[in-house]
A and B are shown apart, each in its own frame.
Chain A
Amino acid sequence: MNAPAAEVTEHASRRGGGRLGRKALRGTPMASFPTLVRNIPAYQMVPDEAVELIHQESLSILEEVGCEFRDDEAIALWKAAGADVSETRVRIDRALLMELVSKVPPEFMLNARNPERSVRVGGKNSIFVPMYGAPYVRDLDNVRRYGTLADLQNFHKLAYMAPALHSSSSIICEPMEIAVPKRHLHIIHSALKHSDKPFMGIVTSKDRAEDTMAMAGIVFGEDFVRDNPVLVAITNCNSPLVWDATMLDAMKVYARHNQPLILAPFALCGASTSASAVGAVAQVNAEALAGVAFTQLLRPGSPQIYGQFMVTVDMKTGAPMGGTPEAAQMMYLMGALARKYRLPWRTSGFHVGSKLNDAQAGYEANMLMHAAILAGANYIWHSAGWLEAGLTCGYSKFATDCEQLVGWYKYAGGLPFDDFKEAMAAIREVGPQGHFLGTQHTLEHFQSAFFMPSIMDFNSYEQWKAEGAKDHDTRGREKARNMLADYEEPKLDEGIADGLKDLIALREEKLPDSVS
């Protein structure tokens, strides 16, 4: 699979070629890759029997120990479905559980406000999604500070411009200057205004989830968002084995609108699970399945995402780690389980613990993304910006991650054989001794044959020195700065834009200025 050619900006010049023509062709193209169709086999690290063993253990956990659902309505739904309920503890029989899980479609279409940016999730189809939730940013001057609305807007712009990102996420960083009760309105507004890709919903309260749906309704049409996925929302299980009221509230709002949820225990392996990679997977699998099954009580057949990824805990401090070998190994188990259940699967890709966009970040990111791709993930999240186990979004990291994603997109697309014959012809044309740099085949294929990064540097030492001897992190920041300078806002219907503003004004009038 090759990256699709950039849309060529039209321009009037003499014959349409020359320096200007080439520049337009190679400039900052507003291109967007379609859904990644993985054209490589999924790698299974353990035998089928091991996957089956974990599966059976997860089912036993749900039957014997059960899972907490801390919400009256959820409990009533489980009772009605025939689960064994005592207070908030729900023990789910394996037949009931698997029957509910089997209702989830294996793939779904995620609609963008620009239909060209709509993507498919599930099966062979994968998408890359930028990070979520950072209180801090590492800014364009390499300073770590609280995020602002201006930063969030910048990240939405970058997400829109990055060809290999398929979503704008939502809270890439937190706009800390906006009052908490009103913040969600501005987060969603920014995502919808600055990008035309799919986005993510807010889950921190029922009202905020409803506001998100109302805003989506203005953009996509109220009727449309009742049945068609336009966003994805993340609800975390509080491991071990607790689905709490806040998350259940958000699940009710989104699932009833047929909007996919990521049912995700973001467990810290060793703290919220046993200190065993396989034991941990059996536990979070139970948690995810319980969550998935619950959504099918809310709306049978609604698309959902089996959501886990896991990080291990640094036993020196209790802090979450990132790109460790165990985190990668656990992905292979989760991927195998997701395929067994025929569920779209989310994991994360570049969720490193490093403070800086440095060598540690690079090692960690590579360990994780390689596993995510080979394990067959569909919703590859935290794929741009993430530093410090999610506490910081870095501009440089965002830009360099996006560049790496172009490489991973190509890698996962498999090895094309379509020009094999021509390549064989070229060797006959050149024969012994010559070189290939000037052959017709090379001219025709050099642009797509190899990954051509602009932030990574492969120049001669002298050239690199002459250009300021800048490290990768610095070049990443420069790239982000340049991209932002080139940004052009995607068109949004005026009526829709006004509709969003009106809704925000209306809600802001009602909402308080501080938490209580």
Chain B
Amino acid sequence: MTRRHLLQKQVPADRKPLKSASASNMADDEIILSELSDEELVQQMHDDLYDGLKEEIEEGTNILLERGWAPYKVLTEALVEGMRIVGEDFRDGILFVPEVLLSANAMKAGMFILRPLLVATGAPKQGKMVIGTVKGDIHDIGKNLVGMMMEGAGFDVIDLGINNAVEKYLDAIEQHQPDIIGMSALLTTTMPYMKVVIDTMKEKGIRDDYVVLVGGAPLNQEFGKAVGADAYCRDAAVAVETAKDFMKRKHNVRVS
């Protein structure tokens, strides 16, 4: 666990102090996760997510499961809650993109363990998104950020990459049965293609089965509406919030 120790030392003084970097821990850097109480372990996992420690998150996830925690409880209380903190500090400019990427990777590793168990126990789905840059467009830095933040929030993300014709989206919908379709465009000459995709979904009678989110710097709210998307997302954090909202609504509909 020297890596964690190293990372803690690197955190500048003006950053949010890490819980695990408290005086007692600083003196004794060896933390044995399995010796922590549930509550301490969850706190530690929030810190480990914050620091992007993948192996520690895997270990923590397994320990909680071994202690009989329901997979859904592990997901929401340890992982999603931890990533909520990460998201908040990213929004506030305390955490930077490469650090969030690390956190999201750690989260993904936890999710990898939980996914089959969540399905088996019939836990509410966090959600699945297919995302891609539309035909004619190769800009993908923004889309990649969105995908990463969505994964960080516990979503399954299927990344179709760049330059996607409508068939690619349709194939992916059929194959992966997502909840959300995400489209990105950075060119004014390619953004109208979003309408082609949405119109084709309408023609096939499947438009209303999915939530369609769009984004990219030259888009705006009105454009999103005009092409028939459910929402325009101005950045990755908004995309996550919006996706969560729609998933919540979906679950509510199912329950009622």
Report whether B217 and A391 are in contact in the complex, using a CB–CB cutoff of 8 Å.
Answer: yes
**Which of A226-234, A253-261, A313-321 touches B?**
A313-321
| 0/1 interface trace, chain B 69-101, chain A, CB 8 Å (1 if under) | 000000000000000000000100100111000
For residue B136, which residues in chain A have a CB less than 8 angstroms away from its CB? 204, 246, 515
Q: Are A318 and B142 in contact (CB under 8 A)?
A: yes
CA distance A268 to B145 in the complex (A): 14
Query: For the complex, what is the distance from the CA of A476 to the CA of B159, rounded to whole Å?
Result: 45
Please tell me if the beta carbons of B142 and A316 are within 8 angstroms of each other in the complex: no
497-516 of chain A: CB within 8 A of chain B: 514-516
List chain A residues, Cβ under 8 A from B235: 317
User: CB-nearest residue of chain B relative to A315?
Assistant: B96
Q: Collect the chain A residues with CB atoms within 8 Å of residue B193's CB.
A: 515
Q: Could you give, for residues 119-151 of chain B, a 1 whenever the CB lies within 8 Å of some chain A CB and a 0 otherwise?
A: 000000000000000001010011001000000
Nearest-CB distance from B115 to chain A (Å)?
A: 27
Contact with B along A148-176 (1 / 0, CB 8 A): 00000000000000000000000000101
For residue A135, which residues in chain B have a CB less than 8 angstroms away from its CB? Answer: 188, 217-218
B192 within 8 A of partner (CB): yes
Q: A278 within 8 Å of B by Cβ?
A: no
In the complex the two chains form, what is the Cα distance from A135 to B190 in whole Å? 12
Closest chain A residue, CB of each to CB of B223? A146
| Cβ-based interface call for A271 (8 A) | yes
Chain B residue contacts of A514, Cβ below 8 A: 192, 195-196
Determine how close the nearest CB of chain B comes to the CB of A10; give it in whole angstroms.
45
In the complex, B187 has a CB within 8 A of chain A = yes
Q: How far, in angstroms, from A391 to B142 measured CA to CA in the complex?
A: 15
Q: Does A272 contact B (CB under 8 A)?
A: yes
The docked-state distance in angstroms from the alpha carbon of A237 to that of B217 is: 20
How far, in Å, is A182 (CB) from chain B's closest CB?
11
A143 CA / B100 CA spacing, docked (Å): 35
A80–chain B nearest beta-carbon distance, Å? 27
A180 at the interface (CB under 8 A from B): yes
A268 neighbours in B (Cβ, 8 Å): 141
In the assembled complex, the Cα of A244 lies from the Cα of B137 at a distance in Å of 11
Contacts of B196 in A (CB 8 A): 514-516
Name the A residues within 8 Å of B189 (CB-CB).
180, 183, 204, 515
What's the nearest-Cβ distance from chain A to residue B3, in Å? 20
Q: How far is the CA of A238 from the CA of B188 in the complex (A)?
A: 18
A174: nearest chain-B partner, CB-CB: B188
**Number of cross-chain contacts by CB at 8 Å:** 47
Residues of B within 8 A of A176 (CB): 188
Whether B97 and A316, one on each chain, are in contact in the complex, defined by CB atoms closer than 8 angstroms, is: yes
Given the known inter-chain contacts A176-B188, A315-B98, please indicate yes or no for A244 contacting B138, CB distance below 8 A.
Answer: yes
Which residues in B have their C-beta under 8 angstroms from that of A246? Answer: 136, 138
Please classify how large the interface on chain B is, using the bins under 10, 10 to 19, 20 to 34, 35 or more.
Answer: 20 to 34
Contact B145 A180 (CB under 8 A): no
Task: Please tell me if the beta carbons of B93 and A271 are within 8 angstroms of each other in the complex.
Answer: no
Question: Which B residues from 180 to 197 make CB contacts under 8 A with A?
Answer: 187-190, 192-193, 195-196
- Bound-state CA distance A272–B97 (Å) is 14
Which A-chain residue is minimally distant from B95 (CB atoms)? A316
CB distance from A50 to the nearest CB of B (A): 27
Assess the A316–B188 pair: CB atoms within 8 A.
no
Set of chain B residues within 8 Å of A271, measured between Cβ atoms: 141
Classify the interface of chain A: helix, strand, loop or mixed: loop
Q: Contact residue range for chain A?
A: 20 to 34
List B194-230 residues whose CB lies under 8 Å from chain A: 195-196, 217-218
CB of B97 within 8 A of CB of A315, answer yes
Contacts of A244 in B (CB 8 A): 138
Which of chain A's residues has its CB closest to B90's CB?
A316
Q: Looking at B96, B188, B218, which has the most chain A CB atoms within 10 Å of its CB?
A: B188
Contact with B along A117-147 (1 / 0, CB 8 A): 0000000000000000001100000000000
In the assembly, what is the distance between CA of A515 and CA of B195, in Å?
9
A268, closest chain B residue (CB): B141
Interface string of B161-191 (1 = CB under 8 A from A): 0000000000000000000000000011110
Is there an interface contact between A391 and B141, defined as CB atoms closer than 8 Å? no
**By the criterion CB–CB under 8 Å, are A318 and B145 in contact?**
yes
Between A174, A244, A316, A514, the greatest number of chain B beta carbons within 10 A of the residue's beta carbon is seen for: A316
Residue of B96, B192, B195 near A316 (CB, 8 A) is B96
A341 to B136 alpha-carbon distance, docked (Å):
33
0/1 interface trace, chain B 91-120, chain A, CB 8 Å (1 if under)? 001001110000000000000000000000
Q: Which of A174, A268, A315 has the most CB of B within 10 A?
A: A315
The listed residue (A238, A316, A317, A516) touching B138 by CB distance below 8 A is A238
Instruction: Report B150 CB to chain A, min CB distance, Å.
Output: 15
Closest to B217 in A: A391
A317 to B141, CA, bound (A): 11
Q: Which chain B residue lies CB-closest to A135?
A: B218
User: In the complex, are the beta carbons of B138 and A391 less than 8 A apart?
Assistant: no
Bound complex: CA A238 to CA B93 (Å): 28
Least distance between B51 CB and chain A CB atoms (Å)? 17
Q: Which residues of B are found within 8 Å of A204, using beta-carbon distances?
A: 136, 187, 189
Write the chain B residue with the least CB distance to A316.
Answer: B93
- Closest chain-B Cβ to A202's Cβ sits at a distance in Å of 10
For the complex, give the distance between the alpha carbons of A391 and B139 in Å.
Answer: 14
Give the distance in Å from the alpha carbon of A318 to the alpha carbon of B136 in the complex.
Answer: 22
Q: Cβ of A318: which chain B residues have Cβ within 8 Å of it?
A: 97, 141-142, 145, 236
How far, in angstroms, from A391 to B216 measured CA to CA in the complex?
11
Alpha-carbon distance A515/B96, docked complex (angstroms)? 37
Task: Please list the 3 inter-chain residue pairs (A to B) with the smallest Cβ-Cβ separation, ordered nearest first.
Answer: A135-B218, A315-B96, A174-B188
Interface residues of chain A, those whose CB is within 8 Å of chain B, are 135-136, 174, 176, 180, 183, 204, 238, 244, 246, 268, 271-272, 313, 315-318, 391, 514-516
Known: A176-B188, A316-B93, A316-B96. 9 other contacts (CB 8 A): A135-B217, A204-B189, A246-B138, A315-B97, A316-B97, A317-B97, A318-B141, A391-B217, A514-B192
Tell me the B residues contacting A by CB distance below 8 Å.
90, 93, 96-98, 136, 138, 141-142, 145, 187-190, 192-193, 195-196, 217-218, 235-236
- A-B contacts, 23 listed (Cβ < 8 Å): A136-B218, A174-B188, A180-B189, A204-B136, A238-B138, A244-B138, A246-B136, A246-B138, A268-B141, A315-B96, A315-B98, A316-B90, A316-B93, A316-B96, A318-B97, A318-B142, A318-B145, A391-B217, A514-B192, A514-B195, A515-B189, A515-B193, A516-B196
